Homo-oligomer: A and B are copies of this chain.
Amino acid sequence: MTSEQIKEDVYAMGKKAREAALALAVLSEEKKNEILRAMAAGIREAAAEILVANSKDLSVGEERGLTSAMLDRLRLDEARLEAVAAGVEKVATLPDPVGEVLEKWERPNGIEIEQVRVPIGVIGIIYESRPNVTSDAAVLCLKSGNATILRGGSEALHSNVALATALQNGGEKAGLPEGAIQLIPYTDRESVAVMAGMDQYLDLIIPRGGKGLIETVVSLARMPVIKHYDGICHAYIHPAADQEMAVGIVVDSKTQKPSVCNALETLLVDEAIAAEFLPKVAAALAVKNVELRGDEKTRSVIEAQAASEEDWGTEYLDYILSVKVVPSMVEAISHINHYSSQHTETIVTEDGEAAEFFLRNLDSACVFHNVSTRFSDGEEFGFGAEIGISTDKLHARGPMGLRELTSYQYRVRGNGQLKA
């Protein structure tokens, strides 16, 4: 494929997606749900083709020497495919955000202004992960009235093409506009660059994957990008903490699932209770085989590796925790505002006033009081589904559900008002 051909093909997909988006924007909730159910049926009907395509990806992956963990993430089987189809059906049961009147008011001159939720338009999803993202992302975009252009990783190319085709073909039986779900069949960086420059057709790009991919998209994109960098989450244990609760929250936040973005990475303990609390939490974390990396004061109380400056800015995603003793809550806040990735932080305290001060003074998407950081999640927030967690501040911040895939429009009604 020459660069020119890739560009031509991707732009043609963009144009089709824009047309599909205009048609999708005015579909009723009932129609979209009917399409979603047809898409689930489409996956079930094409199950054999999808599994054949997936086995091709698996063979190529084995040849390329993917680890068994990577191969397992790539693998689809009947049960996993049924879960994907059931996931599509579940989205049909979620409330449609489109058309919601956000605000309505009348001006003294009689003009009525209504702010109404509308779809964003065309959303580009660039991802590296499991093939089920193809379906998850496309159907959430569809339910919120958006067309999608998907660009997955090379390891899952055959599976992704088969899944996207099944979704589009299934949906079309119930009236899905042509071009509503398209997958770019090129997996080189070139196609990412083309997408990033195509701002007349793409209203938003959501990259899902490693830092390298996100960095590329951020550098090149002419349109808005909603991204998730790190999850460097903190817990601060205040002098007035219920220490038993604090141990529970630290252990849960760190070890309930260490590989995810809302897992705890740094523990800050107030100096006033460090001598009493650190041994308790260290004992509980030792049971889970958590490696501790502490500052000097921490290491004067408990055994821990010496933490380096780098540790405070590291997302371990592993059974490792950095620990620091801080002289005050204000210092804890400064540390967090400096080192955090602005994802999720929690304070443990029985002092409500202190907690409110902590929450108000942090520049992070999610700030918790007496809650495990693991609850920073669209499902746990009650959104019914999650397209991702944004560490950005604009448009969408924190867990993103269907509403975060919408924009708004002002609809204004009058009776001939003139400015002159």
Contacts and interface: CB of A to CB of B under 8 A. Distances in A.
Interface of A: 21-22, 25-26, 105, 107, 111, 113, 120-121, 199, 203-204, 218-219, 222, 224-225, 242, 245, 248-249, 252, 256-257, 337, 355, 359-372, 374-376, 380-382, 392-395, 397-399, 407-420
B407 A355 contact: no
Nearest to A407: B393
Given A111-B371, A218-B222, A369-B411, 6 more contacts: A113-B381, A199-B218, A252-B419, A364-B409, A368-B412, A374-B418
18 contacts: A25-B363, A26-B361, A107-B380, A113-B381, A218-B222, A224-B394, A252-B418, A252-B419, A256-B419, A364-B409, A365-B409, A366-B410, A369-B413, A369-B414, A370-B415, A372-B417, A393-B407, A397-B409
Chain A interface SS verdict (over half): mixed
A241 to B, nearest CB: 10
A394 B397 contact: no
Nearest to A368: B412
A376 B366 CA distance: 35
Contacts of A252: 418-420
A65 B415 CA distance: 47
Contacts of A370: 413-417
Contacts of A218: 199, 222
B337 A371 contact: no
A224 B222 contact: no
B360 A26 contact: yes
Contacts of A249: 416, 418
